[in-house]
């Protein structure tokens, strides 16, 4: 029961708990905040897994940029607990049941696997910015360029949709 | 390669045309020019003119796999897009202000199509699919004043994002289960006997995600609403080109990665195929709006295309090409006529045979093709699919099921034909000035293409063996 | 630390995301649930990459395990793009209907 | 005239020509012309027949093959004519009587408009043509051609006055009942083909092919053929059409329903006598059916008041006698009776026709009487006819009927006894008819009375000729016991029945018995004759009481029509309605349309899956995912 | 000649081009005349082919182009045996139809006659195809024009009736298509003339030689048979037919009942029995019993039909049932009978329709109960009808007798009781036919029928031709038999 194990358990509990809070909390603002907590937990996991770059990017891009954007939109529309539309409890119940059973089915598929896939923790240089950078601009240059098309289209889209006319 | 680059570049070009060219009518000519260039460039890469292969040489690190099969598919796609532009470009202008941007988005979609047609790693599959989808979310919602359009784009977006999550989960598991730790689709080590649990799970996730993209039941629910809500001119595009691209990605992934162990997942495909045929055909029967009926019919046709995934043999590949061509041309043609109508219900077609015989004739040919009547491309494509499926031993009953549903499909396609010829027109549902001579000519050419492919399919299939 | 705990964790998060999508009607929150699903995937990918790094093949190739992390990077890119488009759509919707209830608009059915 | 056999095809051909001319140009032919053409053609073939007869009498028969109807490996059917004693005899009867009746018709039908007049004669010619085909045919198929042809003509002629629905019904009934018989005939034919692979008489009757047939085969074939004969020759149970057939013009009844067509059955059996001789079982059936018919018909005739109906039933009963003759192996007798019957029955019908003509269409005997003093020739000839049919020596009927009865006796006395009973009834009702018509005082209306007159020459001439024949016709068949070699007919027909006689069991009977039975039958007949004459010569309408018991049954013809109606017609009709309304509309078509409705219904229901709510869609998708995972992970294939 | 263009091609392309040409013609009379002319040309060709039946003219009667190389399918059409008779029937029928209905006028006549000619092209194609794929193509192509003809120019309930007909046959042919595919996958490789090779072959001959186990043949038999049974139609697949006949415009009804039903019989003769030799004996009795039930059943319904057209429709079902039964009797005489009867039935029923058409056109009613006494007004018509009607119930000296006689003889050879039961139809046919004659032509005229006029010249011509053929083939059928011999022999050896 090393430190890593304990931190793994703690981070996992944190992630799960706060994501549950995220989907249950009435007000959108709270949900967003809870989601940010989840992201922090996941970043913690990244660090455990020695993927510092992703950990940082996760914080910056997700928690930083995206979530703020969300928050911004929510504020813009000044949504709050009152504006939350009325729930349909039957549908929710069924939803929880089916989602849960999906989880069970999937887990049951893996619990049969025996323990021979250890994960290397706190070691190796795969996650280092240096390595990633080299790989990204050599092997992955094509997807990298292509992703620019993605951004272009997203940009154009945002303009087309968002522009008032 | 040519296709990806040029489509991307031309997308940017169109984007700027939106900024610099004030006239609303000019961009379409630019777009038509672009698609022509795309087609020719692609043909050069396919060496269709026997000038020797001409292409941008970029080291893709094997991330793209370019062969005559992919390229002939792209050729079909670009030809259909050209047809689409010639028929409907004028209607794109009517959607809204940002004509240039619309065309730009269409070209980005084509870029995505080119990627999924040639991808060799799961990463590019993922990127390609996203590049295909994101512009479509926009195009769906491009009619901003129209609440239906808004609703459609929201639904499409949410469910699309959801399916993206599933796709990624699938990729993750496949990666995890692949001892080679690689994303290359032809470098997935399945081992002997039953697949490792992770691969199995990942595979199911992939099937689900791709079924969603090609709107196969039970993951088709977005299709009718989105196709119905989107501006008709874009529905025409996404229900043809994008859908067949999805199928192409589907087939390529499964024959390169999992073809060897087909026996272990074919049941899923059978399940999906039968369900798709059932839901698509049965639900289409009762539709009153032609647009929505076509949406359901596209699901029904998807059921037939699933047979290619089911068979995964030469016949299936040929069938897929034929089906892409036949289905796309016919559907684009019908939509092109539909756009001209004020009233999208079946009654809207009443008496078209009298008021506008040529349009009626062409529409009839398209509908017959979708039904799968001999002498039309639709028959040949269905026929090839059935042949392909028949070669899979022990599942012949699936073919009989398929043809029975094909017979049912006659029911809703012929309702339109009956309306056109055997009912009297209430009021003129189509204003003449809308229907230009050039439009009629192009439509006639499309109809002729349908017949030509129906008589001699080899010249579509032939490319693949070029 | 065995991989299956990571699998369990990310599947759990993934399912929670799905349940969220199923139960919530606020478009933004539904979208956030999707983001949660994506993050579950990211976590899983990174875990897998380290799993492979632990395997023998890694010794031969130092950057062997980087692929997955690059992939995660691209996922984040796409997510960002999606967010921009998605929020644009939601804003447009709100502008027209003053509601972000996914079931508020229900013209398209049957 | 030696080569007359070479041009034998002319005999049927002439009437055909007549038919075509009168038929095609009916609009522009004058009555007299069309009548003349029709009669002339028949006379032509009559003349030819006489020459042919002379040829055949001098012993050279002939089989003419013209072309192949069918020529395939498993069956050859030629268009052949077979001219031998039997067919020649029938030729004479048909053309002779036919000619007379044509002549008669020229006057009888004179009131018809010329178009219909021509039509009538064309039908009549067509009939003669098919009848000739029937008897001249060299194989069963050609016979069947004629067989159906005469059926068709009888249908057309019965329905000649097609405005009247009862008439057309009668025609229909006749055709359909014949059709039932034809089915039997055809099945027999197929049986024959499937066994011996040929249909031509000479080959079928050759020892070789007879050897191929087991007893069952022969019995079956003959039985089926007999069914055909029953239909054509109006035997129980298929006889009811004949009385109704009286709807047709009287000359038609005389020609078709007395003299010629109805004897086709007898001809056919006589033709295939060897088969019947080889099938005793069938022969017994034939005899019994014949006798029963003879009796039943006679009983019915007793109570009929329509003059033509009486004659019709008497025809049925006489036909019964002929079958009895065939049944007991007296083929010559049967054929002999056909001939004599042709004479006197044609005579009687024509006489009746003349009476009806005079009574301006009245057919009910109760309104007649005392016509003796108005129409003498008719009266005399009619009387002669009655005596002939009653079997009084030396009139023709006596010889033929007696020959049959004698043969019956030698086979089984009971048959003879019943036969004599029938003969008595015959004598009775014939003279009842004669008395009610010609004797007593006139009971009709006044305008009828002063309209009464003797018929014109064209009508009386045939009467006279036929009367003479009815008297002397029998003399060609005088039994041995009266005059050695007197039975020229038997001598003449010997070759035809040679095969049968070779194997048939001979029972010689002593002259004394022969005289005895002859005497008995004559005396019995004479007695009933006188009784009938006496009883009805002073008949008044007033003194016939409403019949009861047996009488009523007889008046209603043993309720045969009602019986058929209840056990055949009605059930068939309701069955058909059941098919049409339940199985077709509700059952099969219901199923088909039901499928369509079901698809529509399913479509309407499935639409609700498309609820339009993202939540619901995703839920369904998740459930779908669940299913797929379960299939993949937990269902092993 | 054989090198330039062959007879089967002529038979196909003549009507096709004439048809396409007709579409562009506005003037009704012109379209009419073109249709008539081209149909006469086709008839001329069909008659000429009869002089070149000999084996040494093979090059005139067959043509074979490679079509789908890597599927092993070639455009192979040739004239022989049964096909020859049916092409002749098709060629004879169309001019008669056009002549007899010459006076009818149709709105947008160009399309009407164009579709008619296309239908003829499709029918011809079915009868000459020697390649499964080509056969299937024409099988459908014959259907499509008829579909449009019926739904465009038919009666008031035409759309439903025709669509029912369409879907019915479409399902059948699709099932057949699956069957074709399955057989195809069991055929041996095909080597084309130019040396290229395909894995399997769609050729008729290689279908005959396909390696199929008895079990496979068992269910394939039904896949094919149902398609043909629907086309014929055989009980219980017949319910589309009365409505379709009732609702179609009469010329189309003539094509349907005179020629199209023969497609089913032809299919059985050429594409069913030789391909599944092991299954045929196993199911022959079942099929025969089905057909014989159909005979009695249809005849019974015909007896209680009040609608003239439906009456004829049901009587046609009965006749076809008899033919179907006779095919499966599978002996020389019955098959010969079929060949004759296919032709005769076509001629006769077309004659019947001409008469009915003319009555309906003049009186506007088609119910027996409303008609009567037509014979006074239209004697010629009556005579014609009586002749044709009696031919229809197979009276001797008419063409139908020869065929039915042989078929019954054949069935009898196969099984006595079947023949006996089927024989009942002789009686029932008489019943309903005479009923019809009586109700329509006899009795007194009523308000509806009193101002009916006799037939005009063109109808006289059409009916006259038919009557002549009835008697010609009734008295001297031998030529027809010799024509059919080849086909029969080829079947017998299978």
pLDDT digit string (tens) for E181-239? 999 999 988 888 777 888 899 998 899 988 899 999 999 999 999 999 999 889 888 88
Q: What is the mean pLDDT of residues B120-138?
A: 95
Task: Report phi then psi at D62, rounded to 5.
Answer: -155, 140
Let me know if E431 is exposed, middle or buried by CB neighbors in 10 A (0-12, 13-18, 19+): buried
In this prediction, residue C75 carries a pLDDT of 94
**Residues in B touching A107 (Cβ below 8 Å):** none
pLDDT confidence bin for C59, thresholds 50/70/90: low
Residue-wise over D599-617: b if at least 16 C-beta within 10 A, else e?
A: beebbeebbebbbbbbbbb
In this prediction, residue A115 carries a pLDDT of 56
In this prediction, residue D64 carries a pLDDT of 87
Q: Collapse the DSSP code of D97 into the 3-class scheme (helix H, G, I; strand E, B; otherwise coil) and give the result.
A: helix
Q: Do C71 and B224 touch (CB under 8 A)?
A: no
Closest Cα in chain A to C2: A118
Mean pLDDT of chain A: 85
Indicate whether C61 pLDDT > 80. no
Using only C-alpha atoms, chain A has a radius of gyration, in whole angstroms, of 20
User: E233 preceded by cis ω (within 30°)?
Assistant: yes
| Residue B277 contacts D, CB cutoff 8 Å | no
Of D607, D614, D622, the CB nearest to C110: D607
Q: What is the mean pLDDT of residues E72-78?
A: 90
CA–CA distance, B38 with E470 (Å, rounded to integer):
68
In this prediction, residue C56 carries a pLDDT of 61
**Which residue's structure tokens are 């304990």?**
A6
Residue D237: partners with Cβ closer than 8 Å, 6 or more residues away: D230, D560
Distance from CA of A113 to the nearest CA of B (A): 8
Cβ count within 10 A of residue C67: 24
CA–CA distance, E10 with E79 (Å, rounded to integer):
11
pLDDT digit string, tens, across residues B9-18: 999 999 888 7
Q: Name the percent of chain B lying above pLDDT 90.
A: 67
Q: Is D touching E (3+ C-beta pairs, cut-off 8 A)?
A: yes
Q: What is the mean pLDDT of residues A24-52?
A: 91
A–D: how many Cβ contacts below 8 A? 26
Q: Which residues of chain D have pLDDT under 70?
A: 1-2, 506-507, 542-547, 636-637
**Residues in D touching A101 (Cβ below 8 Å):** 626
The residue ranges of DSSP E strands in D248-327, in sequence order, are: none
Cβ count within 10 A of residue E50: 11
Indicate whether C91 pLDDT > 70. yes
CA–CA distance, B300 with B274 (Å, rounded to integer):
10
In this prediction, residue E350 carries a pLDDT of 92
Which of E90, E480, E130, E79 has the alpha carbon at shortest distance from E274? Answer: E130
Q: Is A touching C (3+ C-beta pairs, cut-off 8 A)?
A: yes
**CA distances for E213 relative to B274, B398, B399, E216, E221, angstroms:** 28, 21, 20, 5, 12
Residue B342: partners with Cβ closer than 8 Å, 6 or more residues away: B348, B429, B430, B431
- Region for residue A50 given its phi and psi (left: phi exceeds 0; alpha: psi -120 to 50; beta: otherwise): left
In this prediction, residue E39 carries a pLDDT of 94
Higher per-residue pLDDT: B241 or D608: B241
pLDDT digit string, tens, across residues B52-102: 777 887 888 889 998 889 999 999 999 999 999 999 998 998 888 888 999
Residue-wise over E457-484: b if at least 16 C-beta within 10 A, else e?
A: eebbbbbbbbbebbeebbbebeebbebb
Q: Do E174 and B383 touch (CB under 8 A)?
A: no
In this prediction, residue B322 carries a pLDDT of 94
pLDDT digit string, tens, across residues E393-404: 888 888 999 899
Indicate whether A122 pLDDT > 60. no
In this prediction, residue E2 carries a pLDDT of 45
In this prediction, residue E54 carries a pLDDT of 80
pLDDT digit string, tens, across residues C10-21: 999 999 999 999
Name which of A3-17, C65-79, D350-364, E107-121 the model is least confident about: D350-364
pLDDT digit string, tens, across residues A132-154: 888 888 889 999 999 999 999 99
Closest Cα in chain D to B221: D617
pLDDT confidence bin for A113, thresholds 50/70/90: low
**Residues in D touching A99 (Cβ below 8 Å):** 622
Q: Do B197 and A139 touch (CB under 8 A)?
A: no
In this prediction, residue D47 carries a pLDDT of 92
The crossing angle, in degrees rounded to 10, of helices B122-140 and C66-97 is 10
In this prediction, residue A86 carries a pLDDT of 66
Which of D608, D615, D624 best tests the C interface by mutation, with the highest count of C CBs <10 A?
A: D615
In this prediction, residue A84 carries a pLDDT of 64
Q: Do A20 and C16 touch (CB under 8 A)?
A: yes
Indicate whether E379 pLDDT > 90. no
Indicate whether A87 pLDDT > 80. no
CA–CA distance, D324 with D346 (Å, rounded to integer):
21
Distance from CA of E137 to the nearest CA of D (A): 26
Which of B130, B175, B231 best tests the A interface by mutation, with the highest count of A CBs <10 A?
A: B130
For D400-422, give the DSSP string: HHHHHHHHHHHH-HHHHHHHHHH
Indicate whether B350 pLDDT > 60. yes
pTM exceeding the 0.80 threshold for the entire prediction: yes
Q: Do B207 and D628 touch (CB under 8 A)?
A: yes
Indicate whether C58 pLDDT > 60. no
The residue ranges of DSSP E strands in D248-389, in sequence order, are: none
Helix%, strand%, coil% for chain C, nearest 5? 80, 5, 15
Higher per-residue pLDDT: B86 or E365: B86
Indicate whether E1 pLDDT > 60. no
Quote ipTM for the complex: 0.91
Q: What is the mean pLDDT of residues B427-451?
A: 86
Indicate whether E392 pLDDT > 60. yes
Of D599, D607, D631, the CB nearest to B271: D631
């Amino acid at each position: 029961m090393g430190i890593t194990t304990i931190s793994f358990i703690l981070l996992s509990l944190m992630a799960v708990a706060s994501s549950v809070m995220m989907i249950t909390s009435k007000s959108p603002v709270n949900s967003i905040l809870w989601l940010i907590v989840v992201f922090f937990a996941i970043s913690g996991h990244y660090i455990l897994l020695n993927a510092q770059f992703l950990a940082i990017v996760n914080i910056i891009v997700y928690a930083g940029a995206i979530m703020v954007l969300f928050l911004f939109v929510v504020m813009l529309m000044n949504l709050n607990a009152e504006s939350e539309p009325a729930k349909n409890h039957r549908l929710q119940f069924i939803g929880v049941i089916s989602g849960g059973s999906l989880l069970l089915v999937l887990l049951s598929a893996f619990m049969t696997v025996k323990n021979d896939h250890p994960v290397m923790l706190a070691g190796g240089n795969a996650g280092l910015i240096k390595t990633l950078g080299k790989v990204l601009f050599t092997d992955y240059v094509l997807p990298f360029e292509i992703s620019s098309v993605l951004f272009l289209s997203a940009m154009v889209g945002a303009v087309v949709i968002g522009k008032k006319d | 390669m040519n296709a990806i680059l040029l489509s991307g570049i031309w997308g940017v070009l169109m984007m700027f045309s939106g900024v610099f060219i004030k006239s609303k009518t000019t961009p379409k000519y630019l777009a038509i020019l672009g698609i022509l260039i795309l087609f020719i460039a692609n043909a050069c890469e396919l060496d269709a003119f026997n000038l020797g292969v001409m292409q941008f040489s970029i080291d893709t690190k094997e991330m793209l796999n370019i062969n005559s099969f992919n390229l002939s598919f792209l050729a079909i796609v670009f030809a259909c897009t050209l047809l689409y532009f010639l028929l409907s470009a004028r209607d794109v202008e009517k959607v809204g202000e940002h004509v240039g941007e619309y065309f730009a988005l269409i070209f980005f979609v084509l870029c995505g199509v080119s990627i999924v047609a040639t991808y060799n790693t799961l990463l590019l599959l993922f990127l390609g699919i996203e590049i295909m989808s994101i512009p479509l979310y926009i195009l769906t919602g491009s009619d901003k004043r129209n609440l239906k359009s808004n609703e459609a784009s929201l639904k499409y977006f949410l469910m699309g994002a959801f399916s993206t999550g599933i796709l990624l989960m699938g990729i993750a598991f496949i990666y995890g289960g692949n001892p080679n730790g690689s994303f290359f689709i032809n470098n997935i080590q399945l081992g002997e006997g039953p697949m490792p649990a992770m691969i199995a799970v990942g595979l199911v996730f992939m099937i689900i995600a791709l079924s969603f993209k090609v709107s196969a039941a039970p993951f088709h629910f977005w299709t009718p609403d989105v196709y119905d809500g989107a501006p008709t001119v874009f529905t025409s595009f996404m229900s043809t080109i994008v859908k067949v691209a999805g199928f192409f990605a589907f087939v390529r992934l499964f024959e390169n990665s999992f073809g060897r162990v087909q026996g272990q997942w074919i049941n899923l495909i059978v399940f999906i195929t039968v369900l798709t045929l059932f839901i698509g055909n049965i639900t289409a029967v009762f539709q009153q709006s032609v647009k929505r009926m076509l949406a359901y019919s596209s699901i029904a046709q998807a059921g037939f295309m699933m047979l290619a995934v089911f068979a995964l043999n030469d016949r299936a590949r040929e069938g897929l090409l034929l089906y892409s061509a036949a289905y796309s041309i016919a559907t684009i043609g019908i939509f092109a006529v539909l756009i001209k109508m004020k009233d999208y219900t079946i009654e809207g077609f009443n008496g078209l045979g009298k008021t506008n015989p040529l349009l009626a004739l062409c529409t009839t040919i398209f509908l017959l093709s979708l039904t799968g009547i001999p002498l039309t491309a639709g028959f040949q494509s269905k026929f090839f699919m059935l042949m392909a499926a028949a070669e899979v031993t022990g599942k012949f009953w699936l073919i009989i099921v398929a043809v029975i549903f094909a017979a049912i499909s006659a029911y809703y396609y012929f309702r339109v034909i009956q309306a056109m010829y055997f009912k009297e027109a209430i009021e003129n549902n189509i204003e003449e000035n809308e229907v230009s001579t050039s439009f009629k000519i192009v439509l006639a050419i499309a109809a002729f293409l349908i017949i030509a492919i129906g008589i001699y399919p080899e010249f579509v299939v032939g490319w693949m063996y070029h | 630390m065995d991989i299956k705990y990571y699998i369990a964790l990310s599947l759990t998060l993934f399912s929670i995301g799905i349940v969220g999508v199923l139960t919530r009607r606020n478009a933004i929150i539904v979208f956030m649930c999707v983001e949660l699903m994506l993050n579950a995937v990211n976590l899983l990918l990174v875990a897998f990459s380290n799993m492979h790094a632990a395997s023998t093949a890694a010794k031969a190739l130092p950057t062997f395990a980087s692929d997955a992390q690059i992939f995660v990077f691209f996922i984040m890119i796409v997510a960002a793009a999606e967010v921009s488009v998605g929020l644009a759509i939601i804003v447009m919707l709100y502008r027209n209907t003053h509601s972000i209830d996914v079931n508020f608009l229900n013209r398209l059915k049957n | 005239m030696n080569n007359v056999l070479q041009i034998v095809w002319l005999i049927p051909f002439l009437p055909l020509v007549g038919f075509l001319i009168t038929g095609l140009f009916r609009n522009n032919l004058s009555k007299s012309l069309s009548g003349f053409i029709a009669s002339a053609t028949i006379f032509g073939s009559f003349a030819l027949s006489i020459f042919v007869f002379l040829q055949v009498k001098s012993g050279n028969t002939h089989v003419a093959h013209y072309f192949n109807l069918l020529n395939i490996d498993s069956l050859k059917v030629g268009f052949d004519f077979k001219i031998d004693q039997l067919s020649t005899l029938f030729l004479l009867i048909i053309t002779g009587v036919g000619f007379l009746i044509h002549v008669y018709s020229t006057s009888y039908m004179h009131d018809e408009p010329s178009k219909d007049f021509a039509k009538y004669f064309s039908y009549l010619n067509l009939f003669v043509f098919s009848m000739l085909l029937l008897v001249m045919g060299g194989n069963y198929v050609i016979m069947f051609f004629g067989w159906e042809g005469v059926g068709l003509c009888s249908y057309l002629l019965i329905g000649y006055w097609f405005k009247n629905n009862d008439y057309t019904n009668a025609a229909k009934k006749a055709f359909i009942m014949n059709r039932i018989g034809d089915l039997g005939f055809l099945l027999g034919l197929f049986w024959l083909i499937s066994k011996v692979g040929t249909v031509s008489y000479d080959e079928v009757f050759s020892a070789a092919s007879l050897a191929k047939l087991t007893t069952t085969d022969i019995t079956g074939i003959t039985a089926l053929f007999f069914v055909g004969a029953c239909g054509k020759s109006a035997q129980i149970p298929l006889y009811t059409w004949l009385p109704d057939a009286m709807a047709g013009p009287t000359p038609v009844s005389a020609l078709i329903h007395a003299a010629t067509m109805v004897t086709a059955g007898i001809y056919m059996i006589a033709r295939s006598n060897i088969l019947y001789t080889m099938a005793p079982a069938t022969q017994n059936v034939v005899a019994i059916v014949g006798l029963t018919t003879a009796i039943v018909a006679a009983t019915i005739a007793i109570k009929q008041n329509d003059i033509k109906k009486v004659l019709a039933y008497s025809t049925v009963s006489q036909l019964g006698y002929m079958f009895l003759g065939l049944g007991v192996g007296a083929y010559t007798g049967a054929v002999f009776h056909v001939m004599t019957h042709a004479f006197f029955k044609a005579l009687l019908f024509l006489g009746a026709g003349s009476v009806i003509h005079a009574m301006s269409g009245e057919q009910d005997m109760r309104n007649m009487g005392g016509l003796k003093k108005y129409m003498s020739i008719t009266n005399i000839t009619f009387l002669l006819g009655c005596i002939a049919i009653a079997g009084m020596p030396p009139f023709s009927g006596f010889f033929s009927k007696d020959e049959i009865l004698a043969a019956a006796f030698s086979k089984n006395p009971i048959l003879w006894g019943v036969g004599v009973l029938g003969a008595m009834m015959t004598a009775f009702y014939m003279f009842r008819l004669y008395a009610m018509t010609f004797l007593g005082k006139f009971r009709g209306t006044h305008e009828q009375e002063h309209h009464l007159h003797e018929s014109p020459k064209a009508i009386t001439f045939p009467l006279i000729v036929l009367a003479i024949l009815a008297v002397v016709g029998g003399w060609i068949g005088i039994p041995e016991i009266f005059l050695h070699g007197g039975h020229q007919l038997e001598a003449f027909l010997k070759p035809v029945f040679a095969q049968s006689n070779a194997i048939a069991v001979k029972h010689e009977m002593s002259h004394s018995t022969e005289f005895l039975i002859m005497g008995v039958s004559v005396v019995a007949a004479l007695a009933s004759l006188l009784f009938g004459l006496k009883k009805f010569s002073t008949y008044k309408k007033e003194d016939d009481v409403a019949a009861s018991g047996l009488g009523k049954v007889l008046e209603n013809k043993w309720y045969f029509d009602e019986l058929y109606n209840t056990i055949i017609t009605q059930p068939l009709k309701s069955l058909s309605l059941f098919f049409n309304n339940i199985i077709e509309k509700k059952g099969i078509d219901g199923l088909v349309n039901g499928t369509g409705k079901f698809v529509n219904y399913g479509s309407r229901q499935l639409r609700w899956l498309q609820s339009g709510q993202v939540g619901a869609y995703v839920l369904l998708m998740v459930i779908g995912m669940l299913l797929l995972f379960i299939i993949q992970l937990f269902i092993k294939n | 000649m054989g090198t330039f263009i062959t007879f089967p091609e002529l038979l196909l392309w003549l009507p096709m081009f004439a048809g396409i040409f007709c579409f562009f013609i506005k003037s009704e009379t012109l379209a009419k005349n073109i249709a008539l002319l081209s149909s006469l040309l086709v008839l001329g060709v069909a008659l000429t082919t009869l002089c070149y039946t000999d084996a040494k003219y093979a090059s005139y009667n067959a043509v074979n182009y490679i079509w789908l190389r890597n599927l092993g399918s070639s455009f192979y059409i040739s004239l022989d045996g049964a096909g020859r008779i049916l092409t002749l029937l098709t060629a004879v029928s169309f001019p008669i139809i056009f002549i007899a209905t010459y006076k009818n006028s149709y709105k947008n006549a160009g399309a009407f006659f164009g579709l008619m000619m296309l239908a003829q092209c499709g029918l011809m194609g079915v009868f000459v195809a020697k390649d499964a794929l080509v056969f299937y193509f024409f099988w459908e192509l014959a259907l499509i024009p008829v579909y449009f003809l019926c739904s465009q120019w038919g009666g008031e309930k035409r759309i439903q009736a025709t669509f029912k007909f369409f879907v019915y046959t479409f399902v059948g042919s699709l099932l057949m298509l699956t069957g074709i595919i399955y057989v195809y996958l069991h055929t041996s490789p095909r080597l084309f003339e130019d040396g290229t090779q395909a894995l399997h072959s769609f050729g008729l001959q290689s279908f005959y030689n396909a390696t199929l186990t008895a079990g496979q043949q068992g269910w394939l038999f039904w896949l094919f048979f149902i398609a043909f049974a629907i086309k014929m139609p055989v009980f219980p697949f017949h319910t589309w037919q009365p409505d379709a006949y009732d609702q179609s415009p009469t010329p189309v009804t003539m094509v349907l009942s005179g020629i199209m039903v023969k497609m089913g019989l032809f299919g059985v003769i050429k594409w069913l029995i030789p391909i599944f030799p092991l299954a045929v004996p196993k199911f022959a009795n079942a099929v025969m019993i089905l057909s014989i039930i159909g005979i009695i059943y249809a005849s019974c319904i015909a007896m209680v039909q009040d609608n003239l057209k439906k009456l004829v429709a049901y009587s046609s079902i009965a006749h076809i049932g008899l033919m179907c039964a006779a095919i499966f009797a599978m002996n020389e005489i019955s098959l010969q009978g079929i060949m004759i009867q296919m032709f005769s039935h076509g001629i006769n029923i077309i004659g019947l329709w001409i008469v009915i058409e003319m009555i309906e056109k003049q009186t506007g009613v088609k119910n027996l109960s409303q008609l009567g006494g037509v014979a006074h007004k239209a004697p010629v018509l009556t005579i014609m009808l009586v002749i044709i009607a009696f031919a229809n119930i197979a009276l001797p000296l008419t063409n139908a007798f020869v065929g039915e006689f042989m078929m019954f003889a054949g069935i009898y050879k196969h099984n006595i009781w079947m023949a006996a039961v089927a024989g009942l139809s002789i009686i029932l046919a008489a019943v309903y036919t005479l009923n019809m004659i009586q109700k329509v032509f006899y009795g007194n005229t009523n308000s509806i029928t009193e101002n009916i006029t006799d037939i005009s010249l063109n109808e006289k011509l059409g009916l006259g031709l038919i009557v002549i053929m009835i008697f010609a083939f009734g008295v001297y059928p031998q030529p027809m038999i010799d024509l059919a011999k080849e086909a029969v022999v080829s079947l017998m050896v299978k």
